[in-house]
Every structure is written in C-alpha cells, then in structure tokens.
A and B are shown apart, each in its own frame.
Chain A
Amino acid sequence: MTTHTAAEIKQHVTVYVRVFAALLVLTVLTVGVSYVKMPVAAGIAVALAIATLKAGLVASFFMHLSTEKRIILLTLALTAVFFVVLLIYPALHAR
C-alpha cells in the first residue's frame, strides 16, 4: 500500500463525506422513483441505472478504484466479462 501523507488523507476524507451525501440522495431517489408509474422495462432500467451509479461511487471512492493500479482494473474487467456471460447464458437457454 502506498503511504499517503496526512494532508492527502484529509482531502480524501472530504471526498468521502461528499460521496456519502450523494449516496443518501440517490437512495431517496431510488425509493421515490419506484412510486412513479412507468412501463416495466423503463422501471427496471431506471432502478438499475441508479443502483449502478451508487455502486460506481462506492467502488471509485470508498474502494479507491479511481486511482487503482492496472492489474486490479484488468482483473475486474475480466470478471465483468465472465459476469456478463453468466447472465446471458441462462437467459439464452431458459425455456
């Protein structure tokens, strides 16, 4: 782990608090949007889009992925490929 200076960590903490506020707002939005009448496909798309945004914030800032090294990002890219296959395969073969 690279050693951060105390000043750097303090800047990080400001970011963490801001991301936290954003996550709280997005959670309220998640629930609020579920009460809006819309076609099923749109409802699913919106719910997953908001969830992905929240997940992106947690991954980028709390998990430090936005500044992470190449090997970790490559590992996750490979995981994403397998994950998509995992979702597509049963969907194609389910009857």
Chain B
Amino acid sequence: MDGLIKHISHPHPVTGVTNSKLGIWLFLASEVMLFGALFSAYVVLRTGAPAWPEGAKILNVPLATLNTFILITSSVTMVLSWAAAATRDLGKFRKWMAITILLGCAFLVVKAFEYQSKFSHHHYPATDNFYATYFTLTGLHGIHVICGLLANLWLLLPGSKLFAKDPEMFTGRIEAAGLYWHFVDLVWIFLFPVLYLL
C-alpha cells in the first residue's frame, strides 16, 4: 500500500531516525500543546482572580510528594526495562516493566485517595476555579497515566511475543512507550510545584 508509513529498523535516509521515533516525538509535541494550553488557562485564571487559595493549605502535599517519588522511580524502572530489551534480556525486561506498571498503579491509588478525600468534603470541579483547575489538570494527567499503564501492560504480556520474532522492533516499541511514560512524568514534575506548592 502506497502512503503507508511502515516500520523500519534502521534510520530513515531522509529523517535520520526510525519512523516510530519520529512518530512518538511528534505525538509528544502535540501533548505539549495540550497540557500547555491548560497550564496557560491556569495562569490566566489565577492572575485574573481577586483571590486564590494556597495550594498547600487545601491539597495534601505529603501525598503528592510521595506520588512524585513514585513517578520518578517508575521512569527509572521504565528506562531500565528498555535497557534490558536492548541487551536482549527478556527476564530482566519483564521484571522492570512489571515494577513500572505497579508503580503507575500506586500513583493512581494515591490520586484516587486524594480525590475521594475532596469529594467527601463536597469539593468538586464545579466548586470554584481552584478546584476546577486542580481536577482538570490532574484528571487529564491521570487519564494519561492510565493509557500508559494499558500500553505497558500490553507490551509486558501479549506484546512481548514480538521479542522472539523481531527483538529490534520490540525494543523500538519499548523505547516509544518509554518516551511517552517519561513525558507523563515530566508533566507531573511541573504540576506538583504549580498546584501544590505555589
């Protein structure tokens, strides 16, 4: 089929990188615009507001700090799973990828606990602008974590069959999934101080 962008294992002669690498970075560029737009909205809302509560007084800083440690650790374990795939060690890949997924789940559990605490005090996105931006930013980020977890789970389980057939292509997929996961970590690295500490 003409026009279909196929998988290539060696760098493309024109772009200098594989199609999947260019593809994932272009996708991440669009994600920068998505979260950038929301951060921009937050800045406008906050600077235009007559009053704005201190994040630390309303939100749970210790829990969010824990979540920051969780996501950063999961980023390390994700890159270690890629390194294992690149050195063709399937067992190590499985170990590090499983840990990455568990850490991602832990992040969501902490987040769910935070949200539940807000809901039980009758604080919802519609309560005021502070809660609206808090829930929208962390909610969209949370959805991205869920999608990353699903992709990683697929790569760990049925997707890992590709390792035996074409380990190079498989490693490329882990790298792409890793880039997405690091991006999700990056967004949180900014969300944490902006929402909770400033």
Contacts and interface: CB of A to CB of B under 8 A. Distances in A.
A35 to B, nearest CB: 9
A44 B198 contact: yes
B69 A27 contact: yes
A88 to B, nearest CB: 9
A79 to B, nearest CB: 4
Interface in A1-19: 1-4, 6, 9, 12-13, 16-17, 19
Interface size class of B (residues with CB under 8 A): 35 or more
Chain B interface, >50% SS class: helix
Contacts of B25: 72, 75-76
Contact of A54 (B65, B83, B86, B189): B189
A33 to B, nearest CB: 8
Contact of B65 (A2, A9, A31, A70): A31
B144 interface: no
Given A34-B56, A70-B16, A27 B73 contact: no
Interface string A66-89: 001111100110110011001100
A20 B11 CA distance: 29
B180 to A, nearest CB: 10
Interface residues of A, number: 47
A35 B56 CA distance: 10
Contacts, number: 128
Contacts of A17: 76
B72 interface: yes
Contact of B33 (A2, A48, A83): A83
Contacts of A87: 36, 39-40, 43
A58 B186 contact: yes
Nearest to B173: A1
B47 to A, nearest CB: 7
Interface string A43-62: 11001101100110011001
Contacts of A24: 69, 72
Given A1-B9, A1-B175, A62-B178, A30 B47 contact: no
Interface of A: 1-4, 6, 9, 12-13, 16-17, 19-20, 23-24, 27, 30-31, 34, 43-44, 47-48, 50-51, 54-55, 58-59, 62-63, 68-72, 75-76, 78-79, 82-83, 86-87, 90-91, 94-95
Given A30-B192, A59-B186, 8 more contacts: A12-B83, A20-B72, A47-B193, A51-B193, A55-B189, A70-B16, A75-B22, A95-B48
Interface of B: 9, 11, 15-18, 21-22, 25-26, 29, 32-33, 36-37, 39-41, 43-44, 47-48, 56, 61, 65, 68-69, 72-73, 75-76, 78-80, 83, 86-87, 168, 171-172, 175, 178-179, 182-183, 185-186, 189-190, 192-194, 197-198
